[in-house]
Amino acid sequence: MSHTSQRRGLDPATPGEEIIVLAMIPKQHREDEGIRDAMKALAQKMIAHKPHQWLSHNFIALDIPQLGSKQTLLRWLHRVRPEATRDMLFKAVAEKSSVLTAIYTREEDACGLLRDLKGFWLEENRRKGTPISIVLSGLFGDIDKCCRQTGIRPHTYLHSLGVRGRVDRLPNEGKLELVTMCGHGLIAGQRVQLLAERVEKGEITAEQAAEDVARPCVCGIVNQERAARIFKRLAVSPSRSFPGARAAAPPYGTSAG
């Protein structure tokens, strides 16, 4: 199961715009010997392939009890060398968390990560018996292309059937594209409307609005480039009335490998 399968707004006519990679340790294996080393190695590979955003990107501003004394060190380092902090924080989280997430906005970066993982990392984990599930989330065409290029055969597919019920009470389609970027519901529709109005008035830029909605998403899977484009579109839209979402299912899916 993935919290990314309800995302909306990607168009098969413009492929390769967004692929999310989720790595998860099955609950029964979270205390296995060597599993944390495997997660740290995975974190290094995920960062090496230049994700647009990733888990823990804003953890400096939050209190994460699992990090213990390391958080104090990371906050000090953030003041001295902020460019190095996010990479180190991602690796530190890998020691404690059972989930790693990252979003790639270039198809070749996501495919390159899969190709890298299929080599020594995958064989070593199979040999040691340290299972980590890798899930790709995005347009099925993009995921299928990456899998075919790397010779990986997915074993599970998850596709959203869309929203049913009182869809007239949902935000309109443009706002839903932003709200659904956070699978934990931390992007508020009213916040999106306020920011769109501020962009229209010239009080903030679309890029600043995108950064604002990305801030509460600790998973680091908000596509700020796409969010900025949506805010520009909402700011010039002749009608931003809140109700009006469609119930149609988006062509977005998840593939577990």
Is residue 199 located within the same domain as residue 231?
yes
pLDDT reading at 55 higher than 90: no
Q: What is the CATH number of the domain that holds 30?
A: 3.30.70
Among 105, 127, 159, the domain boundary falls at: 159
Q: Are residues 216 and 176 in the same domain?
A: yes
Q: What is the mean pLDDT of the chain?
A: 83
In tens, the pLDDT along 148-170 reads 999 988 888 888 888 889 988 88
Question: Would you say residue 122 lies in a domain?
Answer: yes
Domain assignment present for residue 229? The answer is yes
The CA angle 2-186-76, to the nearest 5 degrees, is 100
Predicted pLDDT at 234: 93
- Number of structural domains the chain divides into: 2
> Would 202 be classed as within a structural domain?
yes
The answer to whether residues 88 and 81 touch, using CB atoms and an 8 Å cutoff, is no
Same domain, 192 and 220: yes
Task: Give 211-236 pLDDT, tens digit per residue.
Answer: 999 988 878 889 999 999 999 999 98
Does some domain include residue 231? yes
User: Is the domain of 236 the same as that of 178?
Assistant: yes
Q: What percent of the chain has pLDDT over 90?
A: 39
Q: Is residue 50 assigned to a domain?
A: yes
The string of pLDDT tens digits covering residues 79-120 is 777 766 766 777 777 777 788 899 999 999 999 999 999 988
At 177-194, the pLDDT tens digits run 999 998 888 999 999 999
- In whole angstroms, give the CA distance from residue 244 to residue 234: 14
Tell me, yes or no, whether 128 and 206 share the same domain: no
What pLDDT, on a 0 to 100 scale, did the predictor assign at position 194?
94
Domain that holds residue 181: 172-241
Question: Domain check: are 185 and 215 in the same one?
Answer: yes
57: pLDDT strictly greater than 60? no
Instruction: Determine the Cα–Cα distance for residues 153 and 256; give it in Å rounded to an integer.
Output: 9
Whether residue 207 lies inside any domain: the answer is yes
